[in-house]
Structure 1
Amino acid sequence: MFGKLTAIRGNQITIQLDNELNHYKLAKWANGKQPTVELHVDDSRMISPDQRRKIFAMLNDMAHYCGYEARDMEAEMKFQYYIKTGSEEFSMANCTMSQANEFLTFLLDFCFQFGIPFKTRTWDMIPDTYPKAMQCLRHRQCVICGKLHSDIDHFTPVGIGSRKLVDHRKLYFECLCREHHQERHQLGAKSFIAKYHIKPIRLSEQDLINLHIMTRKRMNEIDERIEQNEEQQTRISINRDPI
């Protein structure tokens, strides 16, 4: 259903629906569960010159790498986008800002997934809103220059002992090529991050497993050990309490 947003008060909104909605129909759609809705605000603003420039820079890099003509590359990627999203056809000349952002995100995800390299100029144009640091870690690309087959670097020191004993879920990571990895050690972590304006991030449990940093078995062992220690501390505390 569609409607118009008529009021906003904190985290509560009022929507005037284009068609009437009765309780019977709502209950039927919700299948006996608590009804939920998704709010999608139509962005009627037109694609900006900056968005168009970034998209065409990406398409040109992809065309050069894949051996396509730039126009053919655009047609191919739009076709792939339509298949994946079910979107209607659009033109780069007059699509909306939200449509352009979605297509740009699709192109970035596609390049990371299939290892299509970016030129330095294109790499620097990736929007700050795009989760580049996470994609770089997942696909082993340097977060600074985009070089493939880069190193996963611990921003948080892990010490000299065995890394098998470390709970990597609590640590922060960045992906760096060999050259930038060496520079990071020369400058020190804080100076290096200040120079390149990057932000180390935590990895999800599934990403840690996929990247062979931790195993599910090791995570469970750590969780069991923590639980045992907490139980032991609780028993000690109870025994110390006066009767």
Structure 2
Amino acid sequence: MFGKLKAIKGDQITIQLDDELNMYRLKRFADSKQPTVELAIADGRQISPDQRKKIFAMLRDMAGFTGYDVRDMEQWMKYFYYAKTGTETFSMSDCSVDTANKFLTFILDFCFDNGIPFKTKTWDSIPDTYPKAMQCLRHRQCIICGKLHSDIDHFTPVGNRSRQLVDHRKLYFECLCREHHQERHVLGAKSFIEKYHIKPVKLSEQDLIDLHIMTRKRMNEIDEEMI
């Protein structure tokens, strides 16, 4: 369980839990005895409760999708992470903030690359420092809700020009499902990004090619025309 410390009075503390507490489950884990609670305060040097919460939220989503137990999923992801990075083993209870951030990014990349869907609550909690907009475009997932097979949308208007004649390297993009794509047209681009706090991005030349938005031949033709 995770929560926020609200008040301290003598040797008593008040904590507001992020989720409702299942007393039946708590008593079962405590073997019907008085439960013992451990309080860990983030000091800025070790993994924070918020980081740990986000990582386990994603592991639960992955476990639900693959059929693995959450703890087994954690061990599998750590194994893949160790193999890819060569880093030393670490514990989710006391690893450094930097290690937690790197492992969190690794899990996010893994989910995007393998098409593992996020639940809405997990999707909304993805850190702002993670390049979600770019990953959504590369994997065609809606930046708002995470729905797969979404549309690559021009934030910069193309107008009536043929898309084959446009230099897409100069334009900004976002990935939207049909529902949010329609909402963007109803609200207008400016109001839409203000509502959802998203930031359209430019795509690299390789991403434009991989997503079949432009060809290398067309890029070279445009560059030659400008000489």
Asked if TM exceeds 0.5, the reply is yes
Q: Which runs of 5+ in 2 are unaligned?
A: 1-43
Aligned to 2:161, the other structure's residue is in SS state coil
Asked which structure has the greater CA Rg, the reply is: 1
**Aligned counterparts, 1:67-146, within 5 A:** 67-146=67-146
Identity between Structure 1 and Structure 2 (%):
78
The amino acid of 2:50's aligned partner reads D
Which residue identity does 2:64 align to in structure 1?
A: H
Equivalent residue number for residue 199 of structure 1: 199
1:196 deviates by 0.2
- Structure 2 equivalent of residue 148 of structure 1: 148
The alpha carbon displacement at 1:159 in A equals: 1.1
Distance in 1, Cα, partners of 2:162 & 2:99: 48
Ranges of 4+ aligned residues in structure 1 off by more than 3 Å: none
Relative to the length of structure 1, the TM-score reads 0.75
The one-letter amino acid of 1:128's match is D
Secondary structure (helix, strand or coil) at the match of 1:185 reads helix
Residue 58 of structure 1 is matched in structure 2 by 58
Partner deviation per Cα, 1:82-112 (whole Å, 9 max, x = no partner): 0000011100001000000000000000000
Q: Corresponding residue for 2:214?
A: 214
CA distances 1:177-234 after superposition (whole Å, capped 9, x unpaired): 000000000000000000000000000000000000000000000000011xxxxxxx
* Displacement after TM superposition at 1:161 (Å): 2.4
Inter-partner Cα distance in structure 2 for 1:101 and 1:168 = 33
How many residues in Structure 1 have an aligned counterpart in Structure 2? Answer: 184
> 2: distance between equivalents of 1:203 and 1:152?
11
1:15-54 mapped onto 2 (5 Å cutoff): 45-54=45-54
Q: Which amino acid counterpart does residue 181 of structure 1 have in structure 2?
A: H
Report the equivalent of 1:180.
180
Q: Residues 24-81 of structure 1: CA distance to partner in whole angstroms, max 9, x if unpaired?
A: xxxxxxxxxxxxxxxxxxxx81100000000000000000001100010001000000
What is the rounded CA distance, in whole Å, between the counterparts of 1:161 and 1:190 in structure 2? 22
Residue in 2 that maps onto 1:241: none
The one-letter code of the counterpart of 2:175 is C
RMSD between aligned residues: 0.7
What letter matches 2:214 in structure 1? M
Mapped partners of 2:119, 2:219: distance in 1: 38
Instruction: Measure the CA separation in 1 of the matches of 2:97 and 2:89.
Output: 15
What is the one-letter code of the residue matched to 1:52? R
2:27 corresponds to: none
